[in-house]
Amino acid sequence: MKPTITTSRALTMLGALLVLAACTDEEIPNYNNPVTPTVVPSIAALQTQVTGIAAGDRENHAFQILIMETMGRDAYRIDAADPRYINNPLGQFNPSAFVTNFLWTSHYRTVRSANDLVSGVADAGFSAADKAGARGYAQTMKALQYIRLVEMRDTIGVPIALGQGALDPIRCKPAVLTYISALLDSAATDLAAAGAAFPFALPGGFGSNGAFNTPAGFLKFNRGLKGKNEVYRGFANYNRTGAIDAAALNSAITALDASFANVAGDFRDGVYHTYSTASGDLLNQNFDLSVHRANPKVLSEAETGDLRLAKVRKDPTQNLSTEGVASDILFTIFSGPTSPIPLLINEELLLVRAEAMWGLSRDVEALALANAVRTRSGGFAVPKVAANYTTRLDLLREILKQKRYSLLYESPSRAVDYRMFGLWSEMGTERSAGNLGPMIVPFPEAEANARSNTLSCTT
């Protein structure tokens, strides 16, 4: 049967979409599209597939942040030659546009690569520990792709690509989150059996800010993702019904306890994607000062004296404008086009833990974590106390504020959080009065067409 452009088939339509990630020079293998044998024949072939999975995640990471930080009222890409960067995330997504397509095909392509690796090592001539390490890595990175997909699609759900040649059903958000947790737990079991070292090398960003390039270290990254996903599970129905899944939030805390979350540690410790000017490699596309600007709300909504405002500065020469938005505020987070972008850092995990504590009505502990971030990263000498908050929801807003400024333009979390907690309207309007913009990224047109526009999800 001729393959269609769907999640469960060979997603080869990237073409022009992968301008940012094209690898055509002979000096560097095309890790984004490696040849995947049925059985992985050697450690060298395994290395190629491992590197390809990381490259697949890296190629969409900066773009997801850009689009969701635009939705989250933190960032703009103001380019009069391509208004889609504004009128899609702050107006209406075009299902046929690259903005929608790339944030689908890239993730499922990486899922397919992870599936290929898992099946390819099953009968390979590697040791049991080496096979376990490969599976643990692949399944963790596969789970990360589904986390990203849920962050963007939320309640419309996403297909779980089983790789069986059929069009996989769209699963509702709770089912996908449950699947992610199971994937991460299976991967954790494998990582615990993987010995002291992987038989392959991970990219530099897995070892530059902490040792996450060994099975034991990577397991801590895995547990951090599990904690984040369990918080998503715990609040999956909150914005509609106010219901909280306490079991999921307790599971989140258990996972975070086994992660690298450490209030006394370096807040910037974690896993990063790295970039370089090497032929065929990727640059950090979010550095481009000619088009990338901070939303003016970043300054106007900040607490006076917050040291994290050093992440932005005014551009004295140019106020860019297009499609009803304008900004003269530059990001200074990245020092250049090879600056790394975090995948998951200690500071985020501490604030994820604070969200879980808040959901469990453990407000003293939640406030203590928010204060730890506010004082160390924000530079405030006097911590806040419970009396500063009129309601429990105000305490949650405080946690989300710390998360916003600590992860500014390095995470899609602001849009995810404000949607998850039913606070979307509090981010304010953009472009015109009453315009709150879209809360989700829709299915690509090709996917919808392949399904005859039957897009309801199943539990």
Q: What is the pLDDT of residues 416-456, one digit of tens each?
A: 999 999 999 999 999 999 999 999 999 999 999 999 999 99
Residue 163: the pLDDT is 73
Q: Which H or E run contains 185?
A: helix 173-192
Round to whole Å and give the CA distance between 388 and 401. 14
Count Cα neighbours of 77 within 13 Å in the Cβ-side half-sphere. 23
Q: What does the DSSP assignment read for 290-349?
A: TTEEE-THHHHTSPTT-GGGGGEEE-SS--EEETTEEE-EEE-S-SSTT--EEEEEHHHH
Q: Which residues contact 316 (CB under 8 A, 6 or more apart)?
A: 328
The region, left, alpha or beta by phi > 0 then psi within -120 to 50, assigned to residue 354 is: alpha
421: which 2 tokens?
């907690």
Least confident of 24-28, 56-60, 200-204, 217-221: 24-28
Residue 75 has pLDDT above 60, yes or no: yes
443: which 2 tokens?
């299915």
Helix (H, G, I), strand (E, B) or coil at 24: coil
Q: How far is CA 253 from CA 56, 187, 355, 360, 392, in A?
A: 29, 18, 10, 10, 20
Cβ neighbours, 10 Å, residue 106 = 27
Q: For residue 37, name the pLDDT band (cuts at 50, 70, 90).
A: low
Q: What does the DSSP assignment read for 210-225?
A: S--SSHHHHHHHHHHH
Residue 81: the pLDDT is 95
Average pLDDT score over residue span 57-72:
97
Report whether 299 contacts 229 (CB < 8 A): no
Residue 13: the pLDDT is 35
Which residue in the block uniquely carries the two structure tokens 């908050």? 389
Residue 328: the pLDDT is 97
Q: How far is CA 225 from CA 73, 130, 319, in A?
A: 25, 22, 38
Q: pTM for the whole thing?
A: 0.92
- What's the pLDDT tens digit per position in 85-113? 999 999 999 999 999 999 999 999 999 99
Round to whole Å and give the CA distance between 54 and 273. 8
Residue 160: the pLDDT is 96
Number of residues in the chain: 459
Residue 28 has pLDDT above 80, yes or no: no
Count Cα neighbours of 32 within 13 Å in the Cβ-side half-sphere. 25
Which residue in the block uniquely carries the two structure tokens 């979307």? 424
Q: For residue 36, name the pLDDT band (cuts at 50, 70, 90).
A: low
Q: Which residues contact 322 (CB under 8 A, 6 or more apart)?
A: 78, 79, 80, 83, 86
Residue 32 has pLDDT above 50, yes or no: no
Average pLDDT score over residue span 247-275:
98
Query: Rounded mean pLDDT of the chain?
Result: 92
Least confident of 31-35, 219-223, 227-231, 289-293: 31-35
Cβ neighbours, 10 Å, residue 296 = 16
Q: For residue 38, name the pLDDT band (cuts at 50, 70, 90).
A: confident
Count Cα neighbours of 390 within 13 Å in the Cβ-side half-sphere. 0
Q: For residue 15, name the pLDDT band (cuts at 50, 70, 90).
A: very low
Average pLDDT score over residue span 403-412:
98
Maximum distance among all alpha carbons in the chain? 66
Average pLDDT score over residue span 43-58:
97
233: which 2 tokens?
């599970």
- What's the pLDDT tens digit per position in 264-318? 999 999 999 999 999 989 999 999 999 999 999 999 999 999 999 999 999 988 9
Residue 7 has pLDDT above 80, yes or no: no
Give the closest residue to 268 by CA, choosing from 195, 209, 330, 191.
209
Report whether 298 contacts 408 (CB < 8 A): yes
Residue 6 has pLDDT above 60, yes or no: no
Report whether 437 contacts 430 (CB < 8 A): yes
Average pLDDT score over residue span 183-195:
98
Average pLDDT score over residue span 341-353:
98
